[in-house]
Structure 1
Amino acid sequence: MTPRKRHRRFFFFLFVSLLIGALSGVVMMLWNAILTDVLNAKPITYPQALGLFILCRILFGSFRLGGTGRSPWKKHRRGRWSNLSQEEKTRLKEEWRKRCNR
């Protein structure tokens, strides 16, 4: 690995760490500002906000930043499907029906 790549990788991990830290701070501030008044919830600490942020990202979304949320794999499959003839699509559907009815 070249020194330039190591340098980029270091700054990438530094940026991601700072971003997660800042977003956790936002979660903590929003929780303490809104939910303590609206729902009578207890205020949370920074480590609790970090854990809550990570848990929500695992349960409800990915760790990707921005984008459409569509994977390149889905686009690839959709492209392959549109290139199939009608006979090939019918044969493929029948094959999957056989596999799924087991």
Structure 2
Amino acid sequence: MKKVFYRGRFIFIPLAVAAFLSLISFVVMQLWNNLLPDILHLGTITFWQAMGIFILCKLLFGFGKGGGRPGWGGGGFMRARMAERFKNMSPEQQEKFKAKMRDRMCNWNDRDRGFGKFDREWNDFKAEGEKKGE
């Protein structure tokens, strides 16, 4: 049963990609032809031109990573790397690093201004590093 699935995916995946690309190209063509000629006085485009525009946009603007930019907010990979580095620092190095980051970030998260989670986040990094080290 597994061999049939493995052989089938080599046929199914390219067909699914082609169907998805065709659907997106059709949507791009319809949106372009129904909106842009009236708004910007552009000409209409064909299906193949729409596919080319879609592929060009994907090449220029990226293929999307899902979930935003890595390392921002809850980015798992960068957060894990940071926790590992922070775990390996001595307390003096940690304080020096905190001060450097505060300077770099223009003290945007100081307790004086009511953003009191800066130190808590550093302790979270330290705790995450200790959990992974066990």
The two structures have a TM-score, normalised by structure 1, of 0.69
Question: CA offset at residue 63 of structure 1?
Answer: 6.1
In 2, Cα distance between the equivalents of 1:17 and 1:69? 26
C-alpha deviation, 1:69, in angstroms: 4.5
Pairing 1:68–2:70 present:
no
1:78: Cα distance to partner?
A: 2.1
- Structure 1: which 5+ residue stretches go unaligned? 94-102
| C-alpha distance in structure 1 between counterparts of 2:61 and 2:20, whole Å | 18
1:77-96: CA deviation from partner (whole Å, max 9, x where unpaired): 420311333439x5xx8xxx
- TM-score by length of structure 2 reads 0.54
Which residue of structure 1 lines up, in the alignment, with residue 90 of structure 2?
87
Gaps of 5+ in 2: 98-134
Q: Which amino acid aligns with 2:24?
A: L
Shift of 1:21: 0.4
Runs of 4+ in 1 over 4 A off after TM superposition: none
Q: 1:15-30 to 2 correspondence within 5 Å?
A: 15-30=16-31
Identity %: 37
The 5 A counterparts of 1:44-59 are 44-59=45-60
Match of 2:8 in 1: 7
Aligned positions, number = 87
Highest CA radius of gyration, 1 or 2? Answer: 2
CA RMSD of aligned residues (A): 2.7
